[in-house]
Amino acid sequence: MNKTDFIIQDIISKIYQRCFKDNKLPTQREMAKQYNVSRFTIQKVVDQLFQMGVVDVIQGSGIFIQEKIIKNPLVFNSLTKSPYTKIDSKVLDFHRRSATKEETMIFQMDSDVWEFTRARFVDYKLEQVEKSCLPVRLFPDLTVDHARKSIQDYVESQGYKISYYLTQYIPSVVTKEDAELLLCKKGTPAMKIQNRGFLRNGQVYEISEILAIDYSVSYIRPFDRERHSQRLK
């Protein structure tokens, strides 16, 4: 773990330990001294914490913890903790086709689907290859340009409201085809991440599968005492 990631995780840990008075972090100068790093490193840490929704930075007042993160699960990885300005996508394939029986069941509608594959880059480094499907009936005007940018922004621009995601992580290995895209050897350990995106009305609007190498994810969730007691029975 590099120094920046260590400091981020240490600060998040201390937030949940209620170590910071008045929900306010120390100044950047104080944190640089505490962790024995440069102000530049601390600035990167604060920027990432802000992008993750952990803190608010108020010029002239300080760095304040967002209280909502104490009550809700916090999940972050290399993409979600990076600002959108540092994330880029290259569409490798985009086409319309008939939905499979499984996709018809998931979307609960008889509709063609848009299928596209895109490579996701962070700071020009290839991080993931993602394959997604969206129903044509909900998004008849989806284009390659929409696929290259934020799908969430596009979906909400169509008048829909995104509610939540169902995500599954599956250990995998890189196939020969994917190895060419990810610039690695066939058989390299990887993480397969399967997502279903839901709208507020319960409609599934997207299914996707991501293949990532050198992948890590961190999450903090409240302890569910009632659920823990039920599992003991």
Model pTM score:
0.69
What are the strands of the beta sheet with 87-97, ordered from one edge?
A: 87-97, 113-122, 125-135, 204-212, 189-199, 162-173
What's the pLDDT tens digit per position in 177-214?
Answer: 888 888 889 999 988 999 999 999 999 999 999 998 87
Task: Assign 3-class secondary structure to the chain.
Answer: CCHHHHHHHHHHHHHHCCCCHHHECCCHHHHHHHHCCCHHHHHHHHHHHHHCCCEEEECCCEEEECCHHHHCCEEEECCCCCCHHHEEEEEEEEEEECCCHHHHHHHCCCCCEEEEEEEEEECCEEEEEEEEEEECCCCCCCCHHHHHCCHHHHHHHCCCCEEEEEEEEEEEECCHHHHHHHCCCCCCEEEEEEEEEEECCCCEEEEEEEEECCCCEEEECCCCHHHHHHHCC
Query: With 70 as the cut, is the pLDDT of residue 71 above it?
Result: no
Out of 1-5, 164-168, 206-210, least confident range: 1-5
On average, the pLDDT of the chain sits at 87
Residue 204 CA, distance from chain mean position: 18
* Residue 154: predicted pLDDT: 96
pLDDT tens across 115-139, in order? 999 998 887 888 889 999 999 999 9
pLDDT in tens, 48-59: 888 878 899 998
Region 19-48: mean pLDDT is 92
Instruction: State how beta strands 113-122 and 217-220 pair.
Output: unpaired
Instruction: Give 73's pLDDT tier (boundaries 50, 70, 90).
Output: low
Q: What is the CA radius of gyration of the chain?
A: 20
Asked if 19 and 65 count as a contact pair (C-beta separation under 8 A), the reply is: no
State the pLDDT confidence band at 79, using cuts at 50, 70 and 90: low
More confidently predicted of 143 and 60:
143
> Which is more confidently placed, 60 or 158?
158
- Give me the pLDDT at residue 74, please: 63
Residue 159 confidence (pLDDT): 96
Q: Which residues contact 231 (CB under 8 A, 6 or more apart)?
A: none
